[in-house]
């Protein structure tokens, strides 16, 4: 395998509804942004593309991938669609990485989109819930917020996590998004605001949960030679990992923790793992990516993380899966302030603020979650952080981290069914 670099990215502004544009046009906006950001890239240098979108129900169109590819003028070059629920973006990003790493392509465009406004929220919930077992889970009351509420109630039971700790994730991500012009929800909130918001699935309120969006995102990947010809600041993809788990969360085993470097079996003597409180696929994806990137102590060796916070609870669960802290310590991790940005005032007292900023962009909760675009959006925001170009792309530099040489992106599907982790780092 040869080294793979990200050389450019683009994102359409995520909004509740884009009736003014078809999905092809939204992808074109993100593509043109990425294309024009590296003027040395010529169309003939692009060897092929990967299409990332989740639901045929939302598009009401099969083979939508090729329609976006032909709109971009990328025919007759190779294209394929990659799909894996909420992790579609992360899986597609890694499919682009595979195309370049294998030598099949020198330059690969990965584009993603989702058009969720085509139906009302309740119908959208139904479409999403069809990504749970339609024989055994969906008919019982299929609703992803309900599934995540059940998983966090078990996390609360096992570890004593609190709803206030969850609310702090919401405060953090909404506040970060205030400085991100691409984000859908930019709000200054308090813990009380989050808890007093309408209850959706106990204990998750409306402000613990991401929203549906219309949007598109594009990443352009290249091999080393091409990358350095196109930009003097390419970002290297130094580690990739993908984990899986049973579709039905009721089927998850109750066994032993998959230990991260530095963890001991005795740390988890009474913990039955993963059960429904933790995501084994996330732990597995993380450890694969860390091994490949040579990371032994993630919290020291990573500068920031963009993770799949479809729920405030799943952000806390993911801190643990990614070994940013031990299993059971996720609630305390956010309460102490570790995942907040050092330079932003959140109106909270935080003892250890900014150890490792998580979701500096605002994450899914505040940016929105147009599923097929989401994992690529994370890659683009991480790419700009590492390039130190947040000010250029956001129009203001509040979210630019001082230390941003190496970041992690995390994409997550189902009840933790597919999870991808990719490590991005300064390549120049």
Partner 1 sequence: MAKKRSRATKTPVVDRNAKLEEVMTGTTAFNVPFPKDLSSLKEMSPLVIKHPYSIEYLHSYGQDSPFFAGLANKKLLGTRCGHCRYTYATPRLHCANCGKETDWVELPQEGRVHTFTTCYFGSEEFLKETPFHLILVEFDGADTLLLARLIGVSAPQDIRIGMKVKAKFRRNSQLKPTDVYFVPA
* Nearer to partner 1 among residue 29 and residue 306 (C-beta): 29
Q: Which are the contacts of 398, defined by CB distance < 8 A and separation ≥ 6?
A: 179, 343, 344
- CB atoms closer than 10 angstroms to residue 198: 7
By CB under 8 A, is residue 199 in contact with partner 1?
A: yes
81: β partners? 51
Among the listed residues 10, 89, 142, 416, the single contact to partner 1 using CB under 8 A: 142
By CB under 8 A, is residue 249 in contact with partner 1?
A: yes
Structure tokens at 333: 């991790």
Whether 316 and 334 have beta carbons less than 8 Å apart is answered as: yes
Question: Which range touches partner 1 (CB under 8 A), out of 32-40, 122-130, 320-328, 347-355?
Answer: 122-130
C-alpha angle 80/129/14, rounded to 5°? Answer: 60
CB of 201 to partner 1, least distance (A): 5
CB of 365 to partner 1, least distance (A): 17
By CB under 8 A, is residue 1 in contact with partner 1?
A: no
By CB under 8 A, is residue 310 in contact with partner 1?
A: no
Task: Pick out residues in 18-37 that bind partner 1 (CB under 8 A).
Answer: 19-21
**Number of residues written out for the chain:** 428
Complete DSSP assignment for 75-130: TTS-EEEE--GGGHHHHHHHHHHHHHHTTS-SEEEEEEEEEGGGS-HHHHHHHHHT
Task: Pick out residues in 259-298 that bind partner 1 (CB under 8 A).
Answer: 276
By CB under 8 A, is residue 62 in contact with partner 1?
A: no
CB of 62 to partner 1, least distance (A): 13
CB of 159 to partner 1, least distance (A): 13
Among the listed residues 36, 40, 254, 300, the single contact to partner 1 using CB under 8 A: 254
Question: Alpha carbon of 292 to those of 30, 287, 295, 421: distances in Å?
Answer: 30, 9, 8, 11
Whose tokens are 């740390």? That residue is: 267
CA proximity to 400, closest of 337, 330, 342, 321: 342
Helix 88-101 vs helix 371-387: crossing angle, to nearest 10: 60
For residue 274, say if its preceding peptide bond is cis, omega within 30 degrees of 0. Answer: yes
Question: Which range touches partner 1 (CB under 8 A), out of 249-257, 315-323, 340-348, 395-403?
Answer: 249-257
CB of 206 to partner 1, least distance (A): 9
Structure tokens at 288: 């694969």
The DSSP element (H or E) to which 357 belongs, if any, is none
By CB under 8 A, is residue 61 in contact with partner 1?
A: no
Question: Which range touches partner 1 (CB under 8 A), out of 40-48, 145-153, 217-225, 263-271?
Answer: 145-153
Among the listed residues 36, 43, 104, 157, the single contact to partner 1 using CB under 8 A: 157
By CB under 8 A, is residue 329 in contact with partner 1?
A: no
Longest dimension (CA), the chain: 58
CB of 129 to partner 1, least distance (A): 5
CB of 119 to partner 1, least distance (A): 9
Q: Which residues bind partner 1 (CB under 8 A)?
A: 19-21, 60, 120, 122-123, 125-126, 129, 135-137, 139-143, 145-146, 149-151, 153-154, 157, 196, 198-203, 246, 248-254, 276
């Amino acid at each position: 395998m040869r080294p793979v670099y990200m050389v450019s990215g683009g994102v359409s502004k995520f909004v509740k509804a884009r009736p003014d544009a078809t999905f092809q046009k939204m992808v074109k906006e993100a593509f043109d942004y990425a294309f024009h950001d590296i003027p040395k890239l010529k169309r003939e240098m692009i060897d092929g593309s990967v299409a990332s979108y989740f639901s045929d129900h939302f598009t009401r169109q099969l083979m939508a991938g090729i329609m976006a590819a032909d709109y971009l003028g990328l025919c007759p070059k190779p294209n394929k669609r990659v799909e894996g629920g909420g992790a579609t973006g992360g899986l597609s990003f890694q499919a682009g990485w595979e195309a370049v790493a294998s030598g099949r392509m020198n330059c690969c465009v990965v584009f993603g989109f989702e058009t969720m406004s085509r139906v009302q929220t309740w119908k959208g919930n139904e479409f999403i819930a069809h990504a749970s077992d339609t024989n055994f889970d969906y008919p019982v009351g299929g609703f992803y917020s309900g599934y995540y509420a059940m998983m966090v109630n078990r996390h609360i039971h096992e570890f004593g996590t609190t709803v206030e700790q969850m609310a702090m994730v919401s405060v953090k991500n909404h506040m970060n998004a205030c400085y991100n012009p691409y984000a859908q929800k930019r709000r200054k909130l308090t813990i009380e605001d989050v808890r007093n918001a309408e209850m959706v699935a106990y204990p998750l309120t409306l402000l613990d949960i991401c929203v549906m969006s219309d949007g598109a995102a594009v990443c352009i990947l290249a091999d080393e030679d091409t990358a350095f010809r196109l930009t003097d600041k390419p970002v290297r993809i130094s580690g990739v990992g993908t984990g899986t788990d049973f579709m039905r969360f009721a089927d998850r085993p109750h066994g032993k923790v998959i230990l991260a470097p530095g963890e001991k079996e005795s740390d988890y003597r009474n913990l039955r793992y993963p059960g429904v409180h933790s995501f084994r696929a996330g732990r597995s994806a993380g450890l694969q990516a860390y091994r490949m990137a040579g990371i032994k102590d993630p919290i020291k060796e990573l500068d920031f993380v963009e993770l799949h916070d479809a729920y405030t609870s799943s952000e806390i669960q993911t801190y643990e899966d990614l070994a940013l802290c031990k299993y059971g310590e996720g609630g305390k991790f956010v309460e102490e302030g570790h995942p907040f940005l050092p330079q932003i005032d959140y109106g909270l007292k935080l003892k250890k603020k900014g150890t490792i900023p998580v979701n500096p962009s605002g994450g899914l909760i505040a940016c929105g979650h147009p599923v097929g675009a989401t994992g690529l959006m994370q890659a683009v925001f991480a790419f700009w952080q590492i390039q130190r170009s947040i000010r250029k792309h956001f129009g203001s530099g509040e979210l630019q981290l001082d230390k941003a040489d190496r970041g992690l992106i995390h994409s997550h599907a189902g009840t933790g069914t597919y999870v991808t982790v990719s490590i991005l780092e300064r390549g120049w």
